[in-house]
Amino acid sequence: MTSAARTASGADPDLAVGLAEPAATGSRTARWRALLLQHRVDLTVGLAFVLLASWLTHGLWPDPGARVLALNPADQTLYEWFLAVDARALRGDFGLLTDRLNAPQGVNLMTNTTVIALGVLFAPVTLLLGAPVTFALLVAVNLAGTAIAWYLLFTRTLHARRLAAALGAGLCGFGPGMVSQSNSHLHMTAQWLVPVIVWLVVRLLRAADPGPRSLDRADRRRLLTSAVGLAAVVCVQVFVGEEVLFLAAVTLLVMTVAYGFADRELLRRALPGFAGGMTVATGLALVVLGYPLWFQFAGPQGVADGMFSPHYFSADLRSWWATSPLSVVGDDASARLTTGPAEYNTFLGVPLLLVTAACALWLRRRPLVVACTAGALVTGALSLGPRIVLDGDPSPVPGPYALLAGLPVVDGALPMRFALAVLPLAATLLVLAVDRALRAPGRVRLLVPAAVGAALLTVFPAPLPTADRPALPEFISGGHWRDCVPPGGVLAPVPAATPKEPWPMRWATAADAEFGLPEGFFIGPHGPDGSAAMGTFKQPTSALLADVAKRGDEPVIGEEQRRQARADADFWGASCVAVTDDAPHAESLRRTLVQLYGPGTRIADAWTWRV
């Protein structure tokens, strides 16, 4: 029967086999050509997103190691170090607690936004070309990848026209908040798994809805596969960026409730199966994530609270109708409405807000529109924080976030970042409106896409500002550090890295994190009573040398300071102390170190002391 199924009746099997190869080759080529022609529009849209992302980040090229994002160089230094540490997984040298910073106590990688999944995925690039290249790639990949993923969701799940999907996906991937967060916040711009999560939730809902029939076996299989897939993607997203996952979960929860109220018949039919599928997905995810989450909150160097004040990181109400300074038509004066250039999350502007509201009003009878509108209103309101701020002036009016403040997990999120969830919700409303217009006769077919396109032009992004950054010392770039510290040892740079000046962390990054550093830029339990804090306490010798680097004054060194210097070096487990010629007040630091540790050894452009 198998042979008969594969060969036409009456055909010679040997002849059929003999003729199959060239026919298969030709048909394969024809199939590829047909596939490319069939998806040429999708491929063109994807290529346009890639080109746009490349244009926005072109300032980091052709030598990412010599270029820096001018508006947030400190965080770029931090993320490049994260990528270097993550890449060590390919060498079998990786754990959730790393000793390559804050020696000897280490750093909890789950407590920090270390983008572990991205770092491991791009580890070959990092080990071959360096962490700055990986960082520059990821800034662009996150923008383009997020836009492409939303485009696929809009075309495949919503079955929207390609023009409508492209406009909406462009806002999702290149909206003001995404471009702003691209200033070194890789964990916030890596949102290309969010559309996958949404698709799996929708798939699970459709499988849970039996329609007029009872739930059959095929639906149960789809429920199970959707739940397993959702659990898997959630687990990956935890190791990409937990904050994005948290924002997606809150938004989907609000949308689910709103959709249920808008379509109560669907709620009645699908709730039991949907709730069961979500329970399975949650249980499977917790099995995988139980230990990492325990490690994050209760493990060594872990923290159970957030360290950022919700009062400070709240969106100014006026910023919603301001234009982002990072857009082509933006105004730098509006930068005062937020905390920094990486947090223009709310800057949608009047035209986009009005057009989005008009689209929602036009389509108000659709349950999905009700759900998106409810999600946008709730997350937008939460972004305002515990107190409403208008044009920089705090008001006595409490914000909705005050109802959530202090709750576990919630206090680790910055209120203003809830606004990031508004981008895909607004984009979905625009997609639905343009899609409906394109299917309708008359002038609406042109007016709606034109209005949406014009509104999107007001938030069209400009290239990210970049600048040159100092070259690494020859002591590091030439590999001379190996004459001072063995791989796996601790090198104490002078001055030590701090959250405000983390530049010595570039040394370890360039060496693929082969050696550890004392102190540094990270989040750990070093605040009052073990609460979360940025960085750690300075040892007395580190504080003394930091003061010399800042002022240039050489302190009087006695036997007590020498004993303390030896004790601090022992505490760090340092093999070597080094000061390079490009350090601030390098000569004053060298003379101070001579008094502390004795005569130094000159290696390349650095003075070193074995301790």
Find the mean pLDDT for residues 109-117: 97
195-204, 410-419, 440-449, 573-582: segment of lowest average pLDDT: 410-419
| Cβ atoms of 497 and 504 closer than 8 Å | yes
Q: Is the predicted pLDDT of residue 351 greater than 60, yes or no?
A: yes
**pLDDT band, very low/low/confident/very high, at 12 (cuts 50, 70, 90):** very low
CA dihedral 69, 70, 71, 74 (to 10 degrees): 70
Per-residue confidence (pLDDT) for residue 36, from 0 to 100: 86
Q: What would you measure as the largest C-alpha separation in the chain, in angstroms?
A: 103
Per-residue confidence (pLDDT) for residue 567, from 0 to 100: 97
Q: Is the predicted pLDDT of residue 9 greater than 50, yes or no?
A: no
Integer Cα distance of 285 and 233 in angstroms = 9
**What is the per-residue pLDDT across 381-414, written as a single tens digit (0 to 9) for each?**
999 999 999 999 999 999 999 988 778 777 778 9
Statement to judge: residues 492 and 398 lie in one domain: no
| Cβ atoms of 596 and 561 closer than 8 Å | yes
Statement to judge: residues 386 and 478 lie in one domain: no
Per-residue confidence (pLDDT) for residue 141, from 0 to 100: 98
Q: Is the predicted pLDDT of residue 16 greater than 60, yes or no?
A: no
Strands 601-603 and 574-580 come out as unpaired
Statement to judge: residues 567 and 598 lie in one domain: yes
Statement to judge: residues 416 and 492 lie in one domain: no
Is residue 210 assigned to a domain? no
- What is the pLDDT of the chain when averaged over all its residues? 93
Q: Which domain holds residue 545?
A: 474-496+538-610
Per-residue confidence (pLDDT) for residue 407, from 0 to 100: 80
Q: Is the predicted pLDDT of residue 576 greater than 70, yes or no?
A: yes
**DSSP structural state of residue 340:** S
Q: Is the predicted pLDDT of residue 305 greater than 50, yes or no?
A: yes
Per-residue confidence (pLDDT) for residue 413, from 0 to 100: 81
Is residue 255 assigned to a domain? no
Statement to judge: residues 380 and 478 lie in one domain: no
Boundary (domain end) residue, out of 409, 426, 457: 457
**DSSP structural state of residue 332:** G
Is residue 207 assigned to a domain? no
Per-residue confidence (pLDDT) for residue 566, from 0 to 100: 97
Q: How far is CA 201 from CA 155, 192, 197, 215, 367, in A?
A: 16, 15, 6, 18, 16
3-state helix, strand, coil in the chain (%, to 5): 60, 10, 30
A 10 A CB-CB count for 30 gives: 10
Among 417, 444, 450, 448, CA closest to 434: 448
Integer Cα distance of 404 and 407 in angstroms = 6
Helix (H) or strand (E) holding 52, with range, is: helix 40-56
Total domains present in the chain: 2
Strands in 601-603's sheet, in edge-to-edge order, are: 490-493, 574-580, 606-610, 601-603
Statement to judge: residues 325 and 359 lie in one domain: yes
Statement to judge: residues 381 and 483 lie in one domain: no
Instruction: Assign 466 to helix, strand or coil.
Output: strand
Is residue 49 assigned to a domain? no
Statement to judge: residues 564 and 490 lie in one domain: yes
Statement to judge: residues 332 and 438 lie in one domain: yes
What global pTM score does this model have? 0.93
Is residue 342 assigned to a domain? yes
**What is the per-residue pLDDT across 500-544, written as a single tens digit (0 to 9) for each?**
999 999 999 999 999 999 999 999 999 999 999 999 999 999 999
φ and ψ at 100, to 5 degrees? -85, 5
**DSSP structural state of residue 424:** H
128-132, 163-167, 206-210, 244-248: segment of lowest average pLDDT: 206-210
Is residue 322 assigned to a domain? yes
**DSSP structural state of residue 515:** S
Integer Cα distance of 86 and 121 in angstroms = 9
CB under 8 Å to 346, separation ≥6 — which residues?
176, 177, 315, 316, 319, 320, 322, 338, 380, 383, 416, 419, 422
**What is the per-residue pLDDT across 310-341, written as a single tens digit (0 to 9) for each?**
999 999 999 999 999 999 999 899 999 999 99
Between 107 and 34, the more confident residue is 107
| Distance between first and last Cα of the chain | 80
Boundary (domain end) residue, out of 401, 430, 457: 457
**pLDDT band, very low/low/confident/very high, at 10 (cuts 50, 70, 90):** very low
**DSSP structural state of residue 309:** -
Q: Is the predicted pLDDT of residue 104 greater than 60, yes or no?
A: yes
| Cβ atoms of 139 and 57 closer than 8 Å | yes
Is residue 103 assigned to a domain? no
Statement to judge: residues 438 and 482 lie in one domain: no
Where does 263-344 have alpha helices with state H?
A: 264-298
Boundary (domain end) residue, out of 457, 487, 505: 457
Q: Is the predicted pLDDT of residue 433 greater than 90, yes or no?
A: yes
Per-residue confidence (pLDDT) for residue 572, from 0 to 100: 97
Per-residue confidence (pLDDT) for residue 212, from 0 to 100: 61
**What is the per-residue pLDDT across 141-156, written as a single tens digit (0 to 9) for each?**
999 999 999 999 999 9
Strand stretches in 215-362, DSSP E: none
Q: Is the predicted pLDDT of residue 20 greater than 90, yes or no?
A: no
| Cβ atoms of 502 and 520 closer than 8 Å | yes
Find the mean pLDDT for residues 68-89: 98
Q: Which amino acid is at 335?
A: A
Q: Is the predicted pLDDT of residue 218 greater than 90, yes or no?
A: no
Strand stretches in 358-401, DSSP E: 387-390, 393-398
Statement to judge: residues 446 and 403 lie in one domain: yes
Q: How far is CA 356 from CA 319, 429, 459, in A?
A: 17, 7, 13
Q: Is the predicted pLDDT of residue 562 greater than 90, yes or no?
A: yes
Q: Look up tokens 């939460």; give the residue.
A: 382
Find the mean pLDDT for residues 116-141: 98
**What is the per-residue pLDDT across 253-283, written as a single tens digit (0 to 9) for each?**
999 999 999 999 999 999 999 999 999 999 9
Is residue 262 assigned to a domain? no
CA angle (468 as vertex; 464, 471 as ends), nearest 5: 140
Q: Is the predicted pLDDT of residue 465 greater than 60, yes or no?
A: yes
Residue 215, Cβ density class (10 Å: 0-12 exposed, 13-18 middle, ≥19 buried) = middle
Per-residue confidence (pLDDT) for residue 210, from 0 to 100: 85
**pLDDT band, very low/low/confident/very high, at 11 (cuts 50, 70, 90):** very low
Find the mean pLDDT for residues 9-23: 41
**pLDDT band, very low/low/confident/very high, at 200 (cuts 50, 70, 90):** very high
Per-residue confidence (pLDDT) for residue 410, from 0 to 100: 79
Q: Which of 481-505 are b and which e, b meaning 16 or more Cβ less than 10 Å from the residue's Cβ? A: beebbeeebbbbbbbbbbbebbbbb
Pick from 204-218, 359-373, 393-407 the range whose average pLDDT is largest: 359-373
Statement to judge: residues 549 and 434 lie in one domain: no
**pLDDT band, very low/low/confident/very high, at 213 (cuts 50, 70, 90):** low
